[in-house]
Amino acid sequence: MSAPTTPVDVRAALPPDAAAALDDMLRRIEEAPETVGRYFPAAARRTTRGDIGLRDDHGEVVLAEDAVRVALLRAAVGALPATRGGAEVAALYRFGDSDEKRAVLLGLGVVDSAAAPDVLEDALRTNDTRLVAAAMGPPAARLDADTWRQGVLKCLFVGVALTSVADLRVRADRSLAEMVARYAHERVAAGRDVPADVWLVLDRFPEAVALIDLDTELASPHDDRSDAARRLLASRPTTPKD
């Protein structure tokens, strides 16, 4: 999920009383940006929650509470020196609940902050699928190649769809494909299901598929392994996409 393009979009989508509350918080933050930590947790209570008709670039619902908090984050970071802005972003994430952490992660897709790598890496150490998905959206552009690849694997481990990974088609490389293939091999060898999303990477680097050793697994005398191999093959799209 990505955040709305501008706070103007958010304000226009909110009910009048919620829009007035957002205006008040933005004004206070612009006057004293270091107070953002006071308004960030209460943002949803002061405005509204849920679907207000906004959609992200993939057509998915943008929740009001996320959009409002991202607007507050943008206002604070824009009004602070870079070092201080990074400290505020880190504090909002560190002391926030899961909803607030998610909003910070979404905000990192639209604000420049030195705190981004540390915050994103922390999110990827969790097993919270909402945080992992948010971190691997647009903010993942701030991750170096190795950390990004580990983030893709984390998505597979915890069940986050790879379609939510920003720039997967652009950033996927042979190293990632080999990591994904080894992950798939371990799952099949344990007789476990493999997410069909692995083919979004493997079909672009078919030479990596050999690492799964599917022929051996299909011929395994252990039914759980041969069945897992068959299920993985059955999940492969009949027409691989570039």
What is the overall mean pLDDT for the chain? 93
What tokens were used for 121? 């890496």
Within 13 Å of residue 192, how many CA atoms lie on the same side as its CB?
Answer: 9
Cα separation of 130 and 125, whole Å?
A: 12
Share of the chain above pLDDT 70, in %: 96
Instruction: State yes or no: pLDDT of 1 exceeds 60.
Output: no
Residue 127: the pLDDT is: 95
Contacts of 15 (CB under 8 A, 6+ apart): 48, 52
Buried b (16+ CB within 10 A) or exposed e, 66-83: bbbbbbbbbbbbebbeee
Cα separation of 46 and 71, whole Å?
A: 14
Contacts of 86 (CB under 8 A, 6+ apart): 113, 114, 115
For residues 194-219, give the mean pLDDT.
96
Residue 241: the pLDDT is: 56
Residue 59: the pLDDT is: 79
**What is the enclosing helix (H) or strand (E) of 51?**
strand 51-55
| Residue 98: pLDDT band with limits 50, 70, 90 | very high
Residue 240: the pLDDT is: 56
Residue 193: the pLDDT is: 96
Burial status of residue 136 (CB atoms within 10 A of its CB: 0-12, 13-18, 19 or more): buried
- pLDDT digit string (tens) for 44-84? 999 999 998 888 777 788 899 999 999 999 999 999 998 89
For residues 189-209, give the mean pLDDT.
96
Name residue 61's beta-bridge partners.
55
For residues 151-163, give the mean pLDDT.
97
Q: Give 60's DSSP letter.
A: P
Residue 188: the pLDDT is: 97
What tokens were used for 157? 């481990």
Nearest to 241 by CA among 210, 211, 196: 196
| Residue 5: pLDDT band with limits 50, 70, 90 | low
What is residue 172's three-state secondary structure? coil
Instruction: State yes or no: pLDDT of 124 exceeds 80.
Output: yes
| Residue 3: pLDDT band with limits 50, 70, 90 | low
Residue 33: what residue type?
Answer: P
pTM exceeds cut of 0.85: yes
Q: Rounded to 5 degrees, what angle do the CA atoms 225, 227, 229 make?
A: 70
For residues 81-107, give the mean pLDDT.
94
For residues 91-117, give the mean pLDDT.
94
Cα separation of 219 and 199, whole Å?
A: 22
